[in-house]
Amino acid sequence: MVEYDADPKESTEAPNDQYDSPWKEAVEHYLPEFMAFYFPDASAEIDWAKDYVFLDKELRAVVQDAELGTRFVDKLVGVELLNGDASWIYIHLEVQGTRQAEFAQRMFVYNYRIYDRYKRPVASFAVLADEHKSWKPSTYGFALLGSKHTLEFPVAKLTDYEDKLEELLASENAFGLITAAHILTQQTRKHEKERYEAKRRLVRILYDRHWDKERVIKLFAILDWLMQLPEWLNRQILDQIETIEEGKKVQYITSVERIGMARGEVIGVEKGVVIGEVIGMEKGVVIGSAGLLRRLLEHRFGVLPEWALGALSGASEQELDAWGVAVLTAPTLEAVFNTY
């Protein structure tokens, strides 16, 4: 077992874990792998050689007055099928982090609202990331006077993978590693040493896979965001990475450091100095900048309201750039968003 250097100011628990942003990034980066890992039968019917389109703004427009509880991630994606029955369809994805009585109802409402708005077939899928093993809602509907209206939707439950950690860690699918990281994050809550050792192992696996640089960097950003550690332990993780890279004669460390900043590490905010890195990805999605801006906004104005979170999640690169400058001097949250 690898020991870590003791710190005289060691806290009694890890920082508050944040799951929503890393899961959002993971789904956007690796949608085909997401579907193949959790819903292989459905994935096999989708033509992944064709372009698929994330429709976040469209989803918000459909469900803006139907907010039934909170969730990690909800996504609407336009895809094409292999059988050619429809030129394209919608798939509605939810990653749900807590047990909620209204969850199945929300799936039902969102599904029929999407269909009502676009008159296209809609398939709904849910990943349940909570810790209640017996909670597995997969249907919602009603029957009245001989009339029935029911939605049944496939569900993947992350607690079902808890006894398959070694299998997850051996998987070539990105969501094998991400699922393992999520489970290990839950299991090591308030246990810094165990989390440090688990995170170090996952980092080693990233490099041992012989994946390309971009994949390693993106997956490290997701794992790093999931597995929150105090900064002094994060520095030791970076030291471990440097040692690994020296042995393998690769150099990713500069990019990894930048991703750490993009995750929300802010240096010298009081002096107006912000360090971060925006990393472009396929289909025009910007990695890191929205997450960094959210942390900056929370640092200045506290917990963000729903309207601000919605604006961030659907923002263009130009909007994020403008808001990133405004956050340093704007007197109010509203003033930041009124600069573009």
Quick one: how far is CA 306 from the chain centroid? Answer: 18
Mean pLDDT of 23-40: 94
The mean of the pLDDT values for the chain is 80
Please state, in angstroms and rounded to a whole number, the distance separating the CA atoms of residues 236 and 3.
Answer: 11
- Span 161-198, pLDDT tens digits: 999 999 999 999 999 999 999 999 999 988 999 999 99
Higher pLDDT, 250 or 36: 36
Residue, of 292 and 320, whose pLDDT is higher: 320
Spatial separation of the C-alpha atoms in residues 326 and 310, rounded to whole Å:
18
What is the domain partition of the chain in residue ranges? Answer: 40-153, 277-340
The token pair at 100 is 């909620």
Q: Provide the 3-class DSSP secondary structure of residue 54.
A: strand
* DSSP category for residue 166: H
Q: Among 6-15, 56-65, 235-244, 303-312, which is the least confidently predicted range?
A: 6-15
208's enclosing H/E stretch is helix 192-208
Q: Shortest CA distance to 97 belongs to which of 162, 189, 188, 159? A: 159
For 313, other C-beta atoms within 10 Å of its C-beta total 16
* pLDDT, tens digit (0-9, with 9 covering 90-100), for 235-263: 888 888 888 888 888 877 555 554 554 44
Q: What pLDDT is recorded for position 245?
A: 84
Tokens representing 51 are 């372009």
Which residues face 280 on adjacent strands? 286
CB 154 within 8 A of CB 125: yes
At 49 the pLDDT is: 93
Quote the CA–CA distance of 208 and 204 in Å, as a whole number: 6
Q: Which residues lie across from 76 on neighbouring strands?
A: 92
For position 318, what pLDDT does the model report? 80
Q: Is 231 exposed, middle or buried (0-12, 13-18, 19+ CB in 10 A)?
A: exposed
Could you tell me where the beta strands, DSSP code E, fall in the chain? 53-54, 73-79, 89-96, 122-128, 139-144, 147-152, 155-157, 279-280, 286-287
Query: What is the per-residue pLDDT for 83?
Result: 86
- Please indicate whether residue 157 or residue 73 has the higher confidence score (pLDDT): 157
**pLDDT over threshold 90, residue 105:** yes
Give the model's pLDDT for residue 70: 53
- Buried b / exposed e along 47-78 (16+ C-beta atoms within 10 A): ebeeebebbbebbeebbeeeebeebbbbbbbb
Q: Where is average pLDDT lowest: 210-224, 280-294, 319-333?
A: 280-294
Distance separating alpha carbons of residues 20 and 18, to the nearest angstrom: 6
Confidence of residue 66 (pLDDT cuts 50, 70, 90): low
Averaged pLDDT for residues 132-147: 96
- In this prediction, residue 92 carries a pLDDT of 95
**CB neighbour class for 286 (10 Å; exposed up to 12, middle 13-18, buried from 19):** middle
Looking at residue 297, its pLDDT comes to 81
pLDDT tens for each residue of 268-298: 333 333 333 333 333 334 445 677 788 778 7
The whole-number average pLDDT for the span 1-29 is 57
